[in-house]
Amino acid sequence: MDILKTFTHLQSMARPSGFESPCAQAIAELAGPYCDEVKIDTLGNVICRKKGPGKRLMMAAHMDVIGLIITHIDKKGFLRFGALGGFVPYRLIGARMKLENGMGGSVWCDEKAMEEKKLEDITLGDLYLDIGAESEESAGKMVQVGDVAVYEGEPQQVGRMLLAPYCDDLIACAALLSAMSQVEKSENDLYFVFTVQEEVGLRGAATAAYAIDPDFGVCMDVTRTGDNPSEKAKMVVKLGVGPTIKIKDASLLCNPQVIAHLREAAKEGDVPYQDEVLTAGGTDSAAIQKTRGGVLSGCISIPCRYIHSQNEMVSLKDVEQSARLMALCAQRTL
């Protein structure tokens, strides 16, 4: 499976939390040839099963992305909005956005706020989306309260790096699909799950894990790096050196048994990896871990610069190795 081609396909259908259906349908179609069962559950998770006689392993990547939701149209036709997921407000200034109906617009800031506030003090309430409408009435014919918008921008390959909106977490969805295609046989009972509403509280992972009742859970997501001058947090994680095996983040202490399983799989498959300790943020593994009586959980991360921006950056080499590591994890008897 061509990971870049798959990502580009999914990224063209990027939708924020609660609106993932187009992406879910695309993933279900792509997964069909590689598993025994595919279903979309009540909340919208795509659950793909490769049957095996052994323990249940749930592997997850979230298909929702961060986005904006329209809350108000003012008299001049400018749109006010709230957030679906986490944004640093001032980083939105100048961003091009795409509404679900295909209409474009750009985010700008009230002049008074720009003059009187420090950048870090700017709030979403200071921002507006300009779609070129001349009045409230004309804007109302193009958009309505409750409509959502996502970052505009096509993926761009720069050498072996990929620059694009929504590497978080659609690049991991593409990698998980690739891992699925690489697994021909396993003694484990495998569940490849593409979850909804991660960005607003790990909701899809929680309901999917409750239904599957896995013995082990491993999610795939992006993680921060420490290899660029803009990062305040010092980390050893770098682009192009391989996927990371998470030890902890703000939401999760990974189980030592799962960490060992992933490390052994990497060594057996000659996959380079980095150890990850993330001081902030969290992943679907935190929800999986707390399901029912508890689930042994861990995480494979793809190093990513500028997370939650319009220009996230990952190494395609890291992505391919992440897919390989997840496939090895799935094939290795638990």
The DSSP string of 152-192 is ----EEETTEEEETTHHHHHHHHHHHHHHHH----SSEEEE
Mapping DSSP to helix (H, G, I), strand (E, B) and coil, where does residue 310 land? coil
Name the token pair of 174. 């593409």
Strands (E), the chain: 37-40, 46-50, 56-62, 67-73, 79-84, 96-99, 104-109, 127-130, 148-151, 156-158, 161-164, 189-195, 216-223, 244-248, 274-277, 296-303, 312-315
Render the burial of 48-71: b for 16+ CB within 10 Å, e for the rest.
bbbebeeebbbbbbbbbbbbbbbe
**Which strands form 312-315's sheet, in the order they lie side by side?**
156-158, 161-164, 312-315
Cis peptide bond upstream of 169, omega within 30: yes
| Cα–Cα dist 121/119, whole Å | 5
- Residue among 242, 264, 259 nearest 297 (CA): 259
> Is position 198 annotated as part of the catalytic site?
yes
Planar angle of CA 289, 291, 297, nearest 5 degrees:
20
Environment class of residue 259 by beta-carbon count within 10 Å: exposed (0-12), middle (13-18) or buried (19+)? middle
> How far is residue 293's CA from residue 286's CA, in Å, rounded to a whole number?
14
Catalytic residue from among 116, 152, 184, 198? 198
What residues act catalytically?
198
